[in-house]
């Protein structure tokens, strides 16, 4: 299967890429291509031009600076999963990386592509929401910063405007810890649903909760009411149950091939409890 | 557009359409047909090659993305470890029809290079992107354990 014809452009700098995008409104940015190339091959979509940002230097590094980490959009999913500092400081991120597609796809697929694709079933968006990540977005008009919670707009729709490229992901290290739980039908499959839970503890009490949901609605969802509820509370069974109720309320489930709304609600609650109780444990 | 890649140590340059996929580039433009195309939809891994040492599905990579990079395919005669993996698959009956085998073997080589002390779980997880429709995975996993003994000199693969 071949994609429809397109022009291929591989800029060497962000400026060059931004300039090209300005003159070519329908051009599409290519990162690892693990979502885009299958769509092009199946002719679900076609694009006049492709801008491959894989040759821009500096977009594929992981830099720890002060209390934050900056991750380039071209960092491969497998590198996220294998990076030992990320594993230590942001276990929820490495655990999610290990659940994405399969090892071969993870060797090509990138964190930036996973985020910008806007697929509600992609796993990194929920993690970004749980970790309150910030995205650096570049265009010929300069740079701007968008919070993860303002980024995911709708299915395949993000806050990226025409001509803009995601050029950096910034996450603060607050000393929190988390887990990512995902339920899928078979190895390499998309999530039926997934949940990222990240907790900053103050003794026995939650100081700050971060909860992101995969495939629980039209796009990745931040379970804000549940987060607010958990802040300042301990992790008693009662509180966890209450938070689980609020998480389910944040969802917009539909009956489909993956199961009924009832099934999904129950599944999500179970995954949440497992995640909370598993924090600090060793992810597989 | 011109695409130049090194495959198994040899350099190749070809003028191709930008939409050319790496799998068809390797098979049709270069003529190395050991790399198979099974599903053509990123599921089966028959098309697995190593790009700069990392196993990827070449049906889901543009030849243009590989421009300037180094590839290894099942034909890499010079690689002793690859030969050992091939022997192991023969010894343990790791193939029947052989269609998935080039991908299985390249993935095996990749995982054994990366982890010199693999557990059975590691082997299974590393195979998540490769499908076999006839042999059954038990013999394939046994082949990889056998290859691990040959390459890494480790007898026991722990559970
Ligand atoms: S042919 Fe590439 S994954 Fe099946
Ligand atoms: S040997 Fe026939 S598909 Fe694997």
Nearest CA to CA, how far is A103 from chain B (Å)? 6
Ligand 1 atom closest to the Cα of residue B44 is: 4
Please tell me the predicted confidence (pLDDT) of residue B156. 60
Structure tokens at B54: 């990392």
Query: Within this chain, do residues B8 and B62 fall inside the same structural domain, yes or no?
Result: yes
Task: For A209-252, give the DSSP string.
Answer: EEEEEESSSSS-EE-HHHHHHHTT-B--HHHHHHHHHHHHHT--
Nearest CA to CA, how far is B19 from chain A (Å)? 6
Query: Within this chain, do residues B84 and B47 fall inside the same structural domain, yes or no?
Result: no
d(CA A68, CA B91) in angstroms, rounded, equals 51
Residue B61 with chain A: CB contacts under 8 Å? 33, 37, 108
Could you read off the pLDDT of B44-96 as tens digits, one per residue? 999 999 999 999 999 999 999 999 999 999 999 999 999 999 999 999 999 99
Query: Within this chain, do residues B110 and B85 fall inside the same structural domain, yes or no?
Result: yes
Q: What length is written for chain B?
A: 159
Query: Within this chain, do residues B88 and B140 fall inside the same structural domain, yes or no?
Result: yes
| Domain A180-278 architecture | 2-Layer Sandwich (3.30)
> What burial class does residue B90 get, using C-beta atoms within 10 Å of its C-beta: 0-12 exposed, 13-18 middle, 19+ buried?
exposed
Judge whether A7-52 and A180-278 match in fold.
Answer: no
Nearest residue (CA) to ligand 2, atom 4: B132
Q: Specify whether the CB–CB gap between A92 and A106 falls below 8 A.
A: no
Domain boundary, last residue among B15, B48, B72: B72
Query: Within this chain, do residues B29 and B12 fall inside the same structural domain, yes or no?
Result: yes
Could you read off the pLDDT of B95-104 as tens digits, one per residue? 999 999 999 9
Nearest residue (CA) to ligand 2, atom 2: B97
CATH 3.30.43.10 describes domain A7-52: yes
Query: Within this chain, do residues B25 and B51 fall inside the same structural domain, yes or no?
Result: yes
Please tell me the predicted confidence (pLDDT) of residue A186. 87
**ipTM of this predicted structure:** 0.96
Report residues of chain A scoring pLDDT below 70: 281-284
- All structural domains of chain A with their residue ranges: 7-52, 62-172, 180-278
Query: Within this chain, do residues B121 and B62 fall inside the same structural domain, yes or no?
Result: no
Cβ pair B19:A6 closer than 8 A: yes
Structure tokens at A115: 């985020």
Asked, for residue B91, whether it belongs to a domain, the answer is yes
What's the domain count of chain B?
A: 2
The answer, yes or no, to whether residue B154 has pLDDT greater than 80, is no
d(CA B26, CA A34) in angstroms, rounded, equals 19
Cβ pair A188:B128 closer than 8 A: yes
CATH of the domain at B33: 3.10.20.30
Asked, for residue B159, whether it belongs to a domain, the answer is no
End-to-end CA distance of chain B: 49
Query: Within this chain, do residues B66 and B6 fall inside the same structural domain, yes or no?
Result: yes
* Position B159 confidence tier, pLDDT thresholds 50, 70, 90: low
Cβ pair B41:A41 closer than 8 A: yes
How much is the pTM? 0.96
d(CA B130, CA B109) in angstroms, rounded, equals 13
As a dihedral over the C-alpha atoms of residue A172, residue A205, residue A216, residue A69, rounded to 10 degrees, the angle is 10
Please tell me the predicted confidence (pLDDT) of residue B7. 98
**Angle formed by the axes of helices B137-152 and B80-91, nearest 10°:** 140
Asked, for residue B158, whether it belongs to a domain, the answer is no
Q: Is A33 on the interface with B (CB under 8 A)?
A: yes
Number of Cβ pairs < 8 A linking chain A and chain B: 84
Please tell me the predicted confidence (pLDDT) of residue A157. 97
Please tell me the predicted confidence (pLDDT) of residue A282. 57
Look up the domain containing B55 and give its range.
Answer: 2-72
Q: So what CATH class is A62-172?
A: alpha beta
Phi-psi region of B21 (alpha: psi -120 to 50; beta: other; left: phi over 0): beta
Burial A140-175 (b: 16+ CB within 10 A, else e): eeeeeebebbebbeeeeebbbeebbbbbbbbbeebe
- Averaged confidence pLDDT in chain B: 96
Ligand found nearest the CA of B133: 2
Residue A30 with chain B: CB contacts under 8 Å? 62, 65
CATH of the domain at B117: 1.10.150.120
> Over the Cα atoms of chain A, what is R_g?
19
Query: Within this chain, do residues B61 and B103 fall inside the same structural domain, yes or no?
Result: no
Please tell me the predicted confidence (pLDDT) of residue B3. 98
Asked, for residue B157, whether it belongs to a domain, the answer is no
Please tell me the predicted confidence (pLDDT) of residue A187. 85
Please tell me the predicted confidence (pLDDT) of residue A246. 98
As a dihedral over the C-alpha atoms of residue A204, residue A210, residue A216, residue A220, rounded to 10 degrees, the angle is -170
Task: For B73-136, give the DSSP string.
Answer: -TT-TT-HHHHHHHHHHHHTT--SS-SSHHHHHHHHHHHHHH-SS--HHHHHHHTTT---SSS-
């Amino acid at each position: 299967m071949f994609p429809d014809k397109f022009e291929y452009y591989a800029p060497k700098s962000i400026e060059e890429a931004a300039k090209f995008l300005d003159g070519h409104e329908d051009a599409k940015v290519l990162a690892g291509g693990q979502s885009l190339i299958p769509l092009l091959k199946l002719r679900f979509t076609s694009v006049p031009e492709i801008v491959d940002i894989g040759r821009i230097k500096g977009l594929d590094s992981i830099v720890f600076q002060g209390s934050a980490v900056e991750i380039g959009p071209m960092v491969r999913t497998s590198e996220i999963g294998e990076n030992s500092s990320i594993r230590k400081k942001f276990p929820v991120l490495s655990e999610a990386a290990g659940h994405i597609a399969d090892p071969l796809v993870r060797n090509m697929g990138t964190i930036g592509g996973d985020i910008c694709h806007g697929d509600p079933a992609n796993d990194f968006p929920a993690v970004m929401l749980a970790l309150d990540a910030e995205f650096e977005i570049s265009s010929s008009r300069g740079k701007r910063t968008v919070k993860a919670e303002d980024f995911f707009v709708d299915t395949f729709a993000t806050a990226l405007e025409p001509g803009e490229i995601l050029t950096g992901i910034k996450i603060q290290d607050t000393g929190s810890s988390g887990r990512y739980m995902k339920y899928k039908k078979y190895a390499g499959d998309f999530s039926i649903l997934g949940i990222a839970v990240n907790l900053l503890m103050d003794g026995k009490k939650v100081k700050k909760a971060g909860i992101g949901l995969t495939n629980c609605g039209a796009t990745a969802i931040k379970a804000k009411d549940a987060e607010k509820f958990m802040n300042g509370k301990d992790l008693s069974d009662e509180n966890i149950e209450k938070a689980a109720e609020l998480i389910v309320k944040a969802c917009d489930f539909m009956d489909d091939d993956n199961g009924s709304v009832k099934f999904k609600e129950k599944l999500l609650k179970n995954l949440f409890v497992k995640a909370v109780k598993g924090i600090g444990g060793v992810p597989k | 557009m011109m695409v130049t890649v090194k495959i198994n140590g040899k350099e190749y340059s070809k003028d191709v359409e930008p939409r050319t996929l790496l799998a068809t580039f390797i098979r049709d433009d270069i003529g190395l047909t050991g790399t198979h195309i099974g599903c053509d939809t990123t599921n089966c891994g028959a098309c697995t090659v190593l790009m700069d040492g990392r196993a990827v599905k070449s049906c889901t990579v543009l030849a243009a993305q590989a421009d300037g990079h180094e590839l290894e395919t099942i034909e890499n005669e010079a690689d002793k470890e690859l030969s050992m993996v091939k022997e192991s698959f023969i010894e343990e009956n790791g193939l029947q029809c052989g269609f998935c085998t080039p991908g299985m073997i390249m993935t095996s080589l990749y995982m054994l290079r990366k982890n010199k002390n693999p557990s059975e779980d590691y082997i299974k997880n590393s195979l998540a992107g490769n499908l076999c429709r006839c042999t059954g995975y038990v013999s394939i996993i046994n082949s990889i354990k056998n290859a691990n003994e040959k390459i890494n000199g480790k007898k026991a693969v722990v559970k």
